[in-house]
Amino acid sequence: MKDFTNKTTLITGGASGIGKIMVRLLLEQNSRVIIWDINQEKIDETIKEFLGKGAISGYRIDVSDTTMVKEMAQKVKDENGKVDILINNAGIVVGKYFHEHKTDDIIKTFDVNTLAPMIVTGEFLGDMMKQDSGHICNIASSAGIVSNPKMSVYAASKWAVIGWSDSLRIEMQKLKKKVRVTTIMPYYINTGMFNGVKSKIPILEAENAARAIVKAIKKNKKMITLPRYIYNITRLSQGLLTIGMFDWFTGKVFGIYNTMEHFTGHIKEFYK
- Cβ 105 vs Cβ 155: under 8 Å: no
Residues with Cβ within 8 Å of residue 239, at least 6 apart in sequence: none
154 is catalytic: yes
Q: Which of 78, 40, 34, 80 shows the shortest CA–CA distance to 60?
A: 40
Whether the CA torsion 14, 213, 140, 115 is positive or negative: it is: positive
CA-CA distance, 153 to 107, in Å (whole number)?
Answer: 9
Which of these is catalytic: 154, 187, 188, 271? 154
Closest Cα partner for 158 from 173, 175, 145, 174?
Answer: 145
Within the chain, strands assigned E span: 8-12, 32-37, 56-60, 85-88, 134-139, 179-186, 189-190, 204-205, 223-226
Rounded to a whole number of angstroms, the CA Rg of the chain reads 18
The total number of residues shown for the chain amounts to 272
| Rounded-to-integer distance, Cα 161 and Cα 119, Å | 12
C-beta separation of 43 from 60 below 8 A: yes
Distance CA 52, CA 132 (A): 32
Q: Which residues in 16-47 are b (16+ Cβ under 10 Å) and which e? A: bbbbbbbbbbbbeeebbbbbbbbbeebbeebb
The answer to whether 265 and 95 are in contact (CB under 8 A) is: yes
What is the set of active-site residues? 154
